[in-house]
Amino acid sequence: MKECVCLNCSTPFKTKPSKVGKFCSRRCAGIYQLNDGVCTGETVDGQGYVQVYQPDHHESASSGLVYKHRLVAEKKIGRPLKPGEVVHHKNSKRQDNRARNIEVLDGHSKHATLHASLRRQEAALGE
Ligand SMILES: [Zn+2]
Ligand SMILES: [Zn+2]
């Protein structure tokens, strides 16, 4: 196998020697093109959440990726998130990681309650 580094997210990955090996995933190739060939250091997971390659972060996965909304939340509250804390996207758009769209909730049950009431509001509006 050939060792490569993704042009978009800088994640090291392995590929067949016959392959060019520019991107770790088709998704990264897409993001790179969308940004006019600029490395954004970001990738999007299967659920639509943006992840950033930051292997030194306390919440990074074995792949070195960390959820961007959690990084933004930590910046916003000025301290690292605790394991039980959940980060919510106020406008429900998982890729909108602007600080004002980010809210920290302590615990999954609060988060679930919030989503349930959001769904009721939407139903009341007839959507
Ligand atoms: Zn990548
Ligand atoms: Zn949420």
What pLDDT digit, counting tens, does each position of 51-107 carry? 998 889 999 998 888 999 999 999 999 999 998 999 999 999 998 999 999 999 999
Ligand 2 centroid to Cα of residue 32, in Å, is 27
| Domain-located, residue 49 | no
Ligand nearest to the CA of 111: 2
92: left (phi over 0), alpha (psi -120 to 50) or beta: left
* pLDDT recorded at residue 40: 84
Tally of domains in the chain = 1
* pLDDT recorded at residue 127: 57
The structure's pTM equals 0.76
* pLDDT recorded at residue 55: 86
Mean predicted confidence (pLDDT) in 2-19 = 91
Ligand 1 centroid to Cα of residue 6, in Å, is 5
| Domain-located, residue 54 | no
For 88, the domain range is 68-127
